[in-house]
Chain A
Amino acid sequence: MRPMPETSDPLAAALRSEPPAAIAALPEDVRTRLAEQIRSARHRQATVVDDAVRTAVKGVPLPVRGIVRKALL
């Protein structure tokens, strides 16, 4: 994956990479909407991960809680 130091294209920024050529050639409104959907999904995903980690650490049996906490936090 090519690094994306700086870009003015919202889709490339959301992907952190240049999109495939045919996607890059899409109208701006389509690329912008895709970029917003990716950003929303990333935020949602981060929340899901955090929730899963909290639940896991609280919910796992005591004998393994220590190593689970160490791995996840």
Chain B
Amino acid sequence: MATAHRSPQLGRIARLLAVDVADVHGLDGIDDDELRALHDLIGRALFADGQQRFARVAGLSKMLPGRVAGKLAEKFLPPALAARVAELLEPAKARELVTKVSVGYLADLSLALDPTRSKPVVQAIPPARIGEVARELFARREYATMAEFAGTVTLEALFAALEVASARDLLEVVPLIAWNDNIDKVIADIPAAKIDEILSEIVAEELWDQASYLIEKLHPAAIGTVARGLFDRGAYAAMADFAGIVNPEALFAVLDVATARDLLVIIPLLEWNDVLAQVVADVPAEKIDAVLREVVTEDLWDEGNYLLDHLPPAARDRAIERACDVPDDVFDALRRAGEAGRHGPAAAELFAQAERARP
């Protein structure tokens, strides 16, 4: 039975109201932006009466040494109230205080913070501390909160959070994020080692369906890194899964980094579809030449025949066209393979046409 999608914003509203998310019903189908606006209105309504007192507590923090203020806060100020006070702190004071309270308390406090009102304060927090809180929130699977803060924190803090995220964390949180330039920069600059780590987890846990959204957002260069990593470790089955979920632009990035042998090994594993046919039809000439040479010089006729038998007509015409121009040694090897009965039907046709057309 299909599970109805439940907006993570409902979880945030339930938390604010201190009720179970099941008690916030009747809001299914409401747009996330409207639910977010409702969440913020509820937050203001709940805490409007206490604003003066929260401001006085924030002011009090200026009069106490940071260590004392931090200890007092953690001991006496419930996180939901500490969040209201934190939103009113001077950013420099917040920067000092976050080092004086525990990560667990900061995580509790973050869950109650308003991402918009707290932006100046959150942006003053050192990225390393953000990373520690992110690790705690990821451990608690608080993905909706993480996603809300992705638009609030600095670029450096986003990288710090990325550093501590597992692949599963990223796959959970990325679809919830309201995309912006900072997120684009982070995704474009994910370090190769991190991509490798994420990929290993995706492959090991077969998270391809969940990974498709994140992979769509990856820059072609990052796609190439992913693909090269899979080819290098001989993970052709995983590469075939990967190729099955990406768009034509990403498939071209895969093609760029694939060797002729990679292509010959992976193609029998692919589920043929329109995207694949489109990419194969536009394969660069030098790639076709390399594949032809690999087939004849390495005697990969099982793979070569499979490929030729499955090529769309336009791509097969291009292969014939290339076969007309291959060097003599390659063409001789093609001929010998035919004489040895190694050609499949498409290879035989390719050879016959190329032989007629060669000068």
Answer yes or no: are A and B bound together in one complex: yes
Q: Using CB atoms and an 8 Å cutoff, list the residues of chain A in contact with chain B.
A: 1, 14-17, 19-23, 26-27, 29-30, 33-34, 37-38, 40-42, 44-46, 48-49, 52-53, 55-56, 59-60, 64, 67-68, 71-72
B114 to A: closest C-beta gap in Å = 13
Q: Are B76 and A60 in contact (CB under 8 A)?
A: yes
B44 partner residues in chain A, CB cutoff 8 A: 1, 15-17
B211 CB to nearest A CB, Å: 32
Q: Flag if B45 contacts A37 (CB, 8 Å).
A: no
Across the two chains, which residue of chain B brings its CB closest to A12? Answer: B41
- Asked if B77 is at the interface of the complex by the 8 Å CB criterion, the answer is yes
Chain B residue nearest to A63 (CB atoms) is B68
Binds A, one of B30-38, B227-235, B306-314: B30-38
- A61, closest chain B residue (CB): B68
**Contact of B75 with A48 in the complex, beta carbons under 8 Å:** no
Pick from A20, A30, A44, A67: contact of B60, CB under 8 Å: A67
Q: Is the CB of B45 within 8 A of A26?
A: no
A68 proximity list for chain B (CB < 8 A): 60, 72
Interface hub of A1, A49, A68 (most chain B Cβ within 10 A): A49
Residues of A within 8 A of B34 (CB): 20-23
Assess the A16–B45 pair: CB atoms within 8 A: yes
Chain B residues whose CB sits within 8 angstroms of the CB of A37 once the complex forms: 17, 19, 23-24
> Is A46 a contact partner of B49 (Cβ separation < 8 A)?
yes
- Shortest C-beta distance, A43 to chain B (Å), equals 10
Contacts of A22 in B (CB 8 A): 30-31, 34
Which A residue's beta carbon lies closest to that of B25? A30
Bound CA–CA A60/B73 (angstroms): 10
- Given A19-B38, A20-B38, answer yes or no on A52-B60 (Cβ-Cβ < 8 Å): no
Question: Is the pair B76, A52 in contact by a Cβ cutoff of 8 Å?
Answer: yes
B19 touches A38 (CB 8 A): no
A interface footprint on B38-58 (CB within 8 Å = 1, 0 otherwise): 100110111111100100110
Docked-complex contact B57 and A72, CB < 8 angstroms: yes
Can you give 20 contacting A-B residue pairs, CB < 8 Å? A1-B44, A16-B48, A22-B31, A22-B34, A34-B26, A37-B23, A38-B42, A44-B18, A46-B49, A52-B76, A52-B78, A56-B72, A56-B76, A56-B77, A59-B75, A59-B76, A64-B68, A71-B56, A71-B59, A72-B56
- Apart from A41-B18, A64-B72, list 13 A-B contacts with CB within 8 A: A15-B42, A16-B45, A20-B41, A26-B26, A30-B25, A30-B27, A33-B26, A41-B16, A45-B80, A52-B81, A56-B77, A67-B60, A72-B56
A contact residues around B41 at 8 Å (CB) = 1, 15, 17, 19-20
Q: Is the interface of A mostly helix, strand, loop or mixed?
A: helix
- Distance (whole angstroms) from the CB of B85 to the closest CB of chain A: 11
- State whether A14 touches B45 (Cβ < 8 A): yes
Interface residue B193 (Cβ < 8 Å from any Cβ of A): no
- Given contacts A23-B34, A56-B72, A72-B56, A49 and B81 within 8 Å (CB-CB): yes
Determine if B45 and A42 form an interchain contact, defined as CB atoms under 8 angstroms apart.
yes
How long is the Cα–Cα vector from A46 to B80 in the complex, in angstroms?
Answer: 12
Query: Per-residue 0/1 for B112-152: is the Cβ within 8 Å of any A Cβ (1 yes, 0 no)?
Result: 00000000000000000000000000000000000000000
* Inter-subunit contact B45/A20 (CB<8 Å): no
Report whether B80 and A48 are in contact in the complex, using a CB–CB cutoff of 8 Å: yes
**Any A CB within 8 A of the CB of B290:** no
